[in-house]
Amino acid sequence: DRLEEAIQAYQRAVELDEGYARAWTNLGTAHLMAGEREAASNSFLRALALAPGAADAHSGLGYVHLYEGDAATALRHFKEAVKLDSVLAGGYYGQAMAFSALGDSARAKQQIRLFQRHAAGQRPGTP
């Protein structure tokens, strides 16, 4: 399966260069897509330890927390992601999901509008 191949490739990349933050983020994203939240969280945290300004790692960690039912922590990560990279569409979408989970539909709708505005320019492969 292609997802497992991606996980293995990114795992090999971080074995070859443990300081490669982008590979840790990509590994986290692949784990998240596979439903492996703990492994995803560990990878995103490793990426952030290496590159605290990695917006996509914050966004990925936000999704981990959101899927685990911790919308408040997820929201903090999504806000940080957007603060670091204002065109990261996934950060806006994640905020919309978190606000919705927290019962704030007005702010969720606002973030969806921002997501729609930024989604056209989104870089491929970012969470």
Pair of tokens at residue 64: 């981990």
Query: Which residues are within 8 A (CB) of 102 and not within 5 positions of it... i.e. 6 or more apart?
Result: 71, 72, 75
List the structure tokens of 44: 């995103």
Q: Is the pTM higher than 0.95?
A: no
pLDDT score at 123: 52
- Could you say which residues of the chain have pLDDT below 70? 121-127
- Please tell me the predicted confidence (pLDDT) of residue 60: 97
Residues 6+ apart with CB under 8 A from 63: 32, 74, 90, 94, 127
Torsion of CA 89, 95, 100, 103, to 10 degrees: -160
Contact by Cβ (8 Å): 127, 59: yes
The DSSP code sequence of 15-52 is HH-TT-HHHHHHHHHHHHHTT-HHHHHHHHHHHHHH-T
First CA to last CA distance, the chain? 20
pLDDT of residue 21: 98
- For 37, other C-beta atoms within 10 Å of its C-beta total 16
What was the pLDDT predicted at 126? 53
Q: Domains in the chain, please, with CATH?
A: 2-119 (1.25.40.10)
